[in-house]
Structure 1
Amino acid sequence: MVAIEGGAVVLALNSGSSSLKYGLYAVESEPVLLVGGTIETAEHHGDDHARFFDTIETALHSGPTPTVIGHRIVHGGPHRDAHCRIDAAVMADLEAACAFAPLHGPASLALIRAAEIRYPGVPQVACFDTAFHAGMPDVAKTLPIAKEYLAGGVRRYGFHGLSCESIVYQLGDKIPARLVIAHLGNGASVTAVRDGRSIDTSMGLTPSGGVMMATRTGDLDPGILLYLLREAGLDQDSLATLVDHRSGMAGVSGLSGDMRVLRAAATDDADLAIRMFERSVCKQIAAMIVSLGGVDTLVLTGGIGENDAATGQAIRAGLAWVAGLDIRIMPSQEDARIAFHAAALG
């Protein structure tokens, strides 16, 4: 790697539930992508982060040396709702927040520690997916449980905030007053945005709620979990595996949570899983329209939202009753927003 004159050079690391996206950005006024790629992490084990950096450095070998590293952090817990530089106190909060996002939190922590070893002395910045939703009103943020649990941080946090922020940023001064953003990928959520600010969203305390997803249940009658505890003998680990890994489209189809695989399979169960996903998305969009008191524009983004035309057609058909709805497909630019914030805070 080589040095670069002026501005920041940000290595943006976007760790998801099934992949690790990386991008090297030169940032002066706007992030400019120099080189990037994706590492599929589903088949790797938790101790492979050094190998991830070997892969990344091979791709970046002729690029400039990072001056700051930015991380997408899915859940910062109750005490972290603004992007910040990572220090010991932040790491302690991120460790505690793993209780809220066990699918994502431990992997992010391991990635931060591996980056510290590979790039000693380079500042690291946490960019929280929950930050975009931090200002939601109490009617959206509060969950309907006994009040004593609310003080411990049990509330609606919302996720995919960097993706939502990137859509708002791309729309610029042309942003409509009433916007719904549907981020549809391996994880999926729908957010109501009024005048550029999140006022409601489908995911709740954890990234497991809301829309039915690839392998996650989405919203579920809580009595089902109680029934499985009592009658099927499932323990907490078995329930966690069921909710996050063996449900959603994978659970219904018995085949896969990957929309491409399900479209190609064309079995009855695959077709049912797809139709259930499409219906779930439409229902959550309708709920966000209620929160907004109407809607001007719906944006579809994320891997499915951007690339699966049949899903887009099904959503258009399901929302044909909404008069005058402008539906757009826009790219999620989470990594560029990570680069922007990391350059500002690093």
Structure 2
Amino acid sequence: MNAAILSLNIGSSSIKLALFDAVTLEPILRGNVTDVGRDARASFTSHGQTTVSERPAAADIGEAVRWLLAEVRERHPEMRLAAVGHRVVHGGTRFDKPVRVDAEVLAELEALAVLAPAHQPAEIALIRNLQELLPDVPQIACFDTAFHRTQPKLSQWFALPRALSESGIVRIGFHGLSYEYIASVLPQIAVPHPYGKTVVAHLGHGASVCAMRNLRSVSTSMGFTPLDGLMMGTRCGTIDPGVLLHLQQQRGMSAQDVADLLGNRSGLLGVSGISDDVRVLEASGDPRAREALEMFAERAATAIAAQCVALEGLDALVFTGGIGEHAENTRKRIGERLRWLGIVLDDARNASDATRISSDAARVQVFVIPTDEETVIARAAARLLGSPSER
């Protein structure tokens, strides 16, 4: 019976799944479920072949995962799960590396859930669900925040009274599993071009940028929660704190109302009044859609430029994430705003599936690299299990 590691990466209405050989870490199967709670649809890819399964709408993430487990077992009846690895969005300052989940860890994750309400409660529920379904299989928590714990104190602290920073109210940073993957493959992709000073732009429904010096995080745009930084699909990103006070004190909004506004009704959706999906906005002729897309590019370019301060320059820019990998017009808008920085995109490359999309004469190299958080999760689980491939 073959031992395997299952990596799970859940969103608010989607699940990414990958199954790896526990010894070699070669991928066996990859899967994706979309539109959980509506018209759930799962696709699986194995050995280059993709199949699609459709079932009556899964009511929630837990039901969708049970469906996925059944599909995996049907396709690989010889498989024995050695571990399940989970992407956990918020690990605070406490968790700087993956850990095996026990009651104490779960309690700490629950205490942090209020800081990532769109993700963490579902992740905790999933872990509990799988502990019941698979009681003998270790559950491994891999934190989106851990990669940024290498940042210097000045990059992490806010200009608040020192006691608050010392109590843990600091810039935590997110999308760390994605950034860790990019850091692991960039040396092979970038050579012979320099990459010691790199900014990575993870642009998706959630979006952030990260400055890496010699592949280690030194600065990032997201802060104490995933609300901060760039404009996103439904999240506002950086905003004047006085606006929040005004909404509560003068407009009579409750804290929960403000949280819902900033996290679920702002960003691309709020500005356009149409959609949080870049593809829908690109296809729209509504001027509000154009304004939202231009604002998204403006905020992303500003954040990329700001990260160059921590690096004292820039060798390379990497686009990743769903928008970063697939939205050529968004990359073009961002690139045009950063020409002064030495970024010049080659239009033909940008419109193709090229990995390097900068022009040959550009001073800063620009790459599009698909991220793979599931592989990072599997590697972490293998290390904790003591896999020979990770010793």
On whether the aligned pair clears a TM of 0.5, the verdict is yes
**Residue 69 of structure 1 pairs with residue 88 of structure 2:** no
Which moves more between the two structures, 165-174 or 63-72?
165-174
SS at match of 2:114: coil
Larger Rg: 2
Which moves more between the two structures, 318-327 or 205-214?
318-327
SS at match of 2:340: coil
> Corresponding residue for 2:319?
300
> Corresponding residue for 2:220?
201
Q: Deviations over 1:270-329 (max 9, x none)?
A: 110100000000000000111100000000000000001101111221111112111110
Say whether the 8 Å CA contact 1:295–1:325 is kept in structure 2: yes
Corresponding residue to 2:235 among 210, 216, 234: 216
**Residue 162 of structure 1 pairs with residue 174 of structure 2:** no
**Residue 333 of structure 1 pairs with residue 345 of structure 2:** no
**Residue 24 of structure 1 pairs with residue 36 of structure 2:** no
| 1:10 Cα deviation from its structure 2 partner | 1.0
Corresponding residue to 2:208 among 165, 174, 189: 189
Say whether the 8 Å CA contact 2:13–2:61 is kept in structure 1: no
The residue correspondences of 1:1-346 to structure 2 (distance < 5 A) are: 3-4=1-2, 8-41=3-36, 43=38, 48-60=60-72, 61-63=74-76, 64-172=79-187, 174=191, 176-323=195-342, 324-346=363-385
Say whether the 8 Å CA contact 1:35–1:59 is kept in structure 2: no
Give distance in 2, aligned partners of 1:42 and 1:49. Answer: 8
Could you say which structure has the greater relative contact order, defined with CA pairs below 8 angstroms and 6 or more residues apart?
1
The amino acid that maps onto 2:71 is A
Give distance in 1, aligned partners of 2:37 and 2:263. Answer: 13
| 1:192 Cα deviation from its structure 2 partner | 0.1
Query: Which consecutive unaligned segments of at least 5 residues does structure 2 have?
Result: 41-56, 343-362, 386-391
**Compared CA separation, residues 65 and 39, structure 1 to 2 (3 A):** farther
Query: Which consecutive unaligned segments of at least 5 residues does structure 1 have?
Result: none
Count of matched residue positions in the alignment of Structure 1 and Structure 2: 341
**Compared CA separation, residues 193 and 266, structure 1 to 2 (3 A):** same
Which moves more between the two structures, 73-82 or 106-115?
73-82
**Compared CA separation, residues 278 and 111, structure 1 to 2 (3 A):** same
Give distance in 1, aligned partners of 2:337 and 2:148. Answer: 27
Give distance in 2, aligned partners of 1:285 and 1:182. Answer: 7
Q: Deviations over 1:238-268 (max 9, x none)?
A: 0110010000010001111111111111211
The amino acid that maps onto 1:74 is V
Say whether the 8 Å CA contact 2:37–2:60 is kept in structure 1: no
Pairwise CA RMSD: 1.8
| 1:343 Cα deviation from its structure 2 partner | 1.7
TM-score, normalised by the number of residues in structure 1: 0.94
**Compared CA separation, residues 47 and 123, structure 1 to 2 (3 A):** farther
Say whether the 8 Å CA contact 1:178–1:296 is kept in structure 2: yes
Say whether the 8 Å CA contact 1:31–1:340 is kept in structure 2: no
| 1:47 Cα deviation from its structure 2 partner | 7.2
Say whether the 8 Å CA contact 1:263–1:270 is kept in structure 2: yes
The amino acid that maps onto 1:252 is V
**Compared CA separation, residues 263 and 97, structure 1 to 2 (3 A):** same
| 1:46 Cα deviation from its structure 2 partner | 11
The amino acid that maps onto 1:115 is L
Q: Deviations over 1:45-100 (max 9, x none)?
A: 99724411232024312222321000000001232221111111110110111121
Residue identity (%) = 41
The amino acid that maps onto 2:75 is S
Say whether the 8 Å CA contact 1:19–1:42 is kept in structure 2: no
Say whether the 8 Å CA contact 1:26–1:34 is kept in structure 2: no
Say whether the 8 Å CA contact 1:27–1:340 is kept in structure 2: no
Say whether the 8 Å CA contact 1:69–1:124 is kept in structure 2: yes
Which moves more between the two structures, 126-135 or 261-270?
261-270
